[in-house]
Amino acid sequence: MTKKLNSKQLTQVLFVIYLLALVWIIIFKLNLSLIPIGSQRSINLIPFAATALINGHIDWAEPLLNVLVFVPLGLYVANLFKPLSVKIRLIVAVSVLCEVTQYVFGIGATDITDVITNTVGGMIGILSYQSVKMGVQNSDKIQKVVNQIAVVATVICMGLLVVVKIGRHFLA
């Protein structure tokens, strides 16, 4: 007999899928190859110092993409965990873990700006969840609505990142 997934279980499955996609985005830089491992190791502890100037203007693309990709994390964390302090710590921990992993394996630049922008994205996700929760009184409905929003946000984030990756490939 097959058991139908309830909304909470669906959220947990979606959360795991999102985390796998997040690892692919941040750690593997949307690549399928492990060739870049060990080829780059740098650390920047000065916020926004590495944000590049292009023609005299600050390039906000990467910080904004970092914010965007962590919004679904905030939605999932807000939906699955109770105390706000736990939610915030989880978002910061995931971000720091990604940055430390990049440094340890020499996969990319470890940057405090990424931790800051990732945390802002997660907080936007938490605030979005709270907004939905205020508008919907039924807890089953909240779960379903948040699942729908999280799926859409995750798909949009992944799609945008793939478009950015393809665009950079053609421009390079």
Provide φ and ψ at 81, rounded to 5°: -125, 150
| Amino acid symbol at 169 | H
CA neighbor of 146 nearest in space, from 172, 120, 118, 127: 127
Q: How far is CA 106 from the centre of its chain?
A: 20
Q: Is the pTM of this model over 0.85?
A: no
Q: Residue 169's pLDDT is what?
A: 62
Q: Residue 109's pLDDT is what?
A: 81
Return the bridge partners of 58, or none: 53
In a domain, residue 85? The reply is: yes
Q: How far is CA 48 from the centre of its chain?
A: 18
In a domain, residue 108? The reply is: yes
In a domain, residue 123? The reply is: yes
Q: Residue 94's pLDDT is what?
A: 96
In a domain, residue 2? The reply is: no
Which residues of the chain are modeled with pLDDT < 70? 1-5, 30-39, 50-58, 161, 165, 168-172
In a domain, residue 46? The reply is: no
Q: Residue 54's pLDDT is what?
A: 57
In a domain, residue 9? The reply is: no
DSSP secondary structure of 35-78: TTTTSEEEEE-STTTT--EETTEE--HHHHHHHHHHHHHHHHHH
Print the domain residue range for 73. Answer: 66-172
- Which tokens belong to 143? 């779960």
In a domain, residue 157? The reply is: yes
Q: How far is CA 6 from the centre of its chain?
A: 24
In a domain, residue 55? The reply is: no
Q: Residue 77's pLDDT is what?
A: 94
> Domain tally for the chain?
1
